[in-house]
Structure 1
């Protein structure tokens, strides 16, 4: 259960979900006709040594018949990959990955010369990530700067101290993050991003439709799956479902031009078929919204 000021490493609490996401990215990248490339995700999973996820890498057949998370991760990752590349193609040279986890975009994507990628996350998560990357002599394709700070602290000050220039446009991502924040913290996050964003900035967000019960994503697993896709962890205990602003509406009201995409629309754009699912899983499949916003 979450508590005020709680912390985690890569094999506990919210950190373990980042490890799960890396596992599903690794499986997508290794599968037939993958939507993404990610040579780093399996390195993180193997280094962490968490039995459930190393087991999935060794034998993905355990996921047969569970299309929601593994296939979904390919859509989500490709969306944000293309979002970042579109922004830098338009001249933006500062990228900020909020709650970066084991995201390896600084290494995977072909960034233009002069691009700086800032990664914000808990100190223990970034420490683990750095250790693995150094051990494998990985070289980033941009000027990567880790910003080790809790989002509940003064992260804008830490970001500026790392060299972020709020007078220049930036491209931001909030991917796989919002359900893990209390409503007030989510709303404060967007207010802080707006304060730091010059004209010409871009923001990509994974959100949910107004009124969505995000805890259903965790609790419904017991009905359809023998075991949680994330192992022994109970995602419902990590999520917050208190009242908060709708990101699309809030950003629009604050002067951003917003576009929203459903998973089904991403599947069509990427030449994939939406999975055939029971009605209540179809409902879950349609809940996330992927937003692009430009100031």
Structure 2
């Protein structure tokens, strides 16, 4: 990726102007770049370093990774990424889901770095300002998707995106794997309810929903005062919490379960991040969630 080429230069000039919530995507890409550089990496994301470089002014040093700025988060993004990688691939390979929707995709690169089965269609939804930054950088890097990738510039807090998604080729009659990663806590409770109702209406039986959320106690976990808001990056404060996500998902027609983060960490030979460790943070423990759409009786 050459900073002198027109498209990346334009994108670099805009990346610092992203709204605070969209700008958290840069912090997550930074974590993926750090993980990708490890010899024992949980995944390889060769595009993440380019996103980080584009977000770092010439001559400046990139800020510390999120996990070093907020100790409770150390290792969290890498484990969460691997968790949802595995879950999405399991849906595509194991249950034959060939349609995936990444809600608030940010600088996600799963369309490029994962080995998708033939016929997989992947939709990335996010705000226009972020896609205006991301797409030129991908083109400059020569990135080639490993699936049929469609981007949709939209506001998930609004009401127009389902029609736009359908117009882009989404088929509500077949099972879909949905990913809400780093999203729900940035929406207000009523917006989350509306989002889940909409996703449910678009989901055929057998569809899968993967998500994360945080409990009320997670807004100020133990020993985090010095860090401020745990996931606050550049002023992007949480707007909602959820103390019983399984009941919430059940009420919206999803059979849900909490993913066993400890078992996941053990399986990949990594320490359990404190933010996922109930023994460390008690009721402030974050949720990783897996849900399947129930058939309508």
TM over 0.5: yes
Structure 2 gaps of 5+ residues are 1-14
Aligned ranges 1:33-112 → 2 under 5 Å: 33-49=40-56, 54-56=61-63, 67-89=71-93, 90-112=95-117
Do the aligned partners of 1:68 and 1:285 also contact (CA within 8 Å) in 2? no
How far apart are 1:214 and its partner, in Å? 4.0
CA RMSD after TM alignment: 3.3
How far apart are 1:263 and its partner, in Å? 3.6
Do the aligned partners of 1:145 and 1:162 also contact (CA within 8 Å) in 2? yes
Partner-residue secondary structure (3-state), 1:55: coil
Partner-residue secondary structure (3-state), 2:179: strand
Distance 1:46 1:230, change over 3 A: farther
Structure 1 gaps of 5+ residues are 1-7
Alignment of 1:131 with 2:136, yes or no, is yes
How far apart are 1:250 and its partner, in Å? 2.5
Aligned ranges 1:112-123 → 2 under 5 Å: 112-123=117-128
- For residues 287 and 223 of structure 1, the distance between their equivalents in structure 2, rounded to whole angstroms, comes to 18
Aligned to 1:234: 235
- For residues 76 and 285 of structure 1, the distance between their equivalents in structure 2, rounded to whole angstroms, comes to 19
- For residues 69 and 201 of structure 1, the distance between their equivalents in structure 2, rounded to whole angstroms, comes to 30
Do the aligned partners of 2:79 and 2:265 also contact (CA within 8 Å) in 1? yes
How far apart are 1:262 and its partner, in Å? 4.7
Q: 1:223 aligns with which of 226, 239, 248?
A: 226
- For residues 83 and 51 of structure 1, the distance between their equivalents in structure 2, rounded to whole angstroms, comes to 38
Do the aligned partners of 1:169 and 1:199 also contact (CA within 8 Å) in 2? yes
1:200-239 alpha-carbon deviations (Å, 9 max, x no partner): 1111011234xx234326x9655269x99977x234xx21
- For residues 204 and 234 of structure 1, the distance between their equivalents in structure 2, rounded to whole angstroms, comes to 26
Aligned to 2:6: none
Alignment of 1:31 with 2:30, yes or no, is no
How far apart are 1:241 and its partner, in Å? 3.4
Q: 2:162 aligns with which of 148, 156, 174?
A: 156
Partner-residue secondary structure (3-state), 1:133: helix
How far apart are 1:68 and its partner, in Å? 3.0
Aligned ranges 1:185-264 → 2 under 5 Å: 185-209=191-215, 212-216=216-220, 221-223=224-226, 233-235=234-236, 238-241=237-240, 246-264=244-262
Do the aligned partners of 1:10 and 1:18 also contact (CA within 8 Å) in 2? no
How far apart are 1:155 and its partner, in Å? 1.2
How far apart are 1:290 and its partner, in Å? 1.0
Do the aligned partners of 2:173 and 2:204 also contact (CA within 8 Å) in 1? yes
Aligned ranges 1:167-178 → 2 under 5 Å: 167-178=173-184
Aligned to 1:4: none
How far apart are 1:274 and its partner, in Å? 2.7
Aligned to 1:5: none
TM-score normalised by structure 2 residue count:
0.81
TM-score normalised by structure 1 residue count:
0.82
Do the aligned partners of 2:126 and 2:154 also contact (CA within 8 Å) in 1? yes
- For residues 91 and 143 of structure 2, the distance between their equivalents in structure 1, rounded to whole angstroms, comes to 24
- For residues 130 and 137 of structure 2, the distance between their equivalents in structure 1, rounded to whole angstroms, comes to 11
Aligned length: 276
Distance 1:83 1:152, change over 3 A: same
